[in-house]
Structure 1
Amino acid sequence: MPLFMDVHHMDGGVAVSDVAAAHMADLQEQSQHGVNYLKYWVNEAEGRIFCLVDAPDAESANTVHREAHGLVADEIYEVSEGA
C-alpha cells in the first residue's frame, strides 16, 4: 500500500494534546477506509502537523481526517521510507 505524509498548517499554533485527540479520532475512523495512520509529528509554535499514513490513495487518507475531526491536510505527498 502507498505511504503518504500529510501536512497541516494551523494558524496561531497548535497544542500537542489537541493533535493527540485528533489522532485518536483518526484511529477510530481509519478501518472504514482501508487506511492506517502510523505516526504524527507536531511543531506547536508554528502550528505544523505531519502525519504518516498507509492508504490506498491520498483522498482516502484525507477522508479519514474529514470524517474523524474535520481537519483535512493542506498538502499530501506520496513518500518512500528510508533508513
Structure 2
Amino acid sequence: MALFMDAHTIEGGVSVGDVATAHEADLATQGGHGVSYLRYWVDEAAGKIFCLVEAPDAEAAHAVHREAHGLVADEIYAVTEGR
C-alpha cells in the first residue's frame, strides 16, 4: 500500500463538523476499495482540507471520496512519512 495526501478547496470556507461527517462516510466506504483513510486536517476559513490515506493507488483513494460524499480532491500526492 502507498501513502497519499490529498487536498481539497471548498469555496467560502468549510466547518470541521462537516469534514468530520464526510470523513465518517469515507470510513464507511473505504473497505470496498482496499483503502484506509488515516487522518485529516482542516483550515476552516481558507476552505482547505487535507486527507492522509493508505491506498493501492491514487484512483482508489479518489473513488472512496467520490462514492462516499462526492467531495473529490483537487490534488493528490504520493508521500513518504518522515521523522
Which TM class, normalised by the smaller chain length? Answer: over 0.9
TM superposition outliers: structure 1 runs of 4+ over 4 Å: none
TM-aligned CA deviation for residue 57 of structure 1: 0.4
Q: Quick one: distance in 1 between partners of 2:36 and 2:10? A: 23
Question: Any idea what SS the aligned residue of 2:66 has?
Answer: helix
Paired residue total: 83
Corresponding residue for 1:22? 22
Structure 2 equivalent of residue 42 of structure 1: 42
Q: How far 1:75 sits from its partner (Å)?
A: 0.1
1:3 is aligned to 2:7 = no
Q: Using the aligned pairs only, state the percent identity.
A: 70
Q: Specify the alignment match of 1:53 in structure 2.
A: 53
Q: Which residue of 1 aligns with 2:12?
A: 12
TM-score (norm 1): 0.99
Offset of 1:27 from its aligned partner?
A: 0.1
Consecutive unaligned residues of structure 1, counting only runs of 5 or more, are none
Distance 2:79 2:68 in 1: 23
CA apart distance, 1:49: 0.1
Q: Secondary structure at the match of 1:50?
A: strand
Report the alpha carbon displacement of residue 10 of structure 1 after superposing the two structures with TM. Answer: 0.4
SS at match of 1:18: helix
Residue type matched to 1:82 in 2?
A: G
1:71 matched to 2:71? The reply is yes
**Structure 1 counterpart of 2:82:** 82
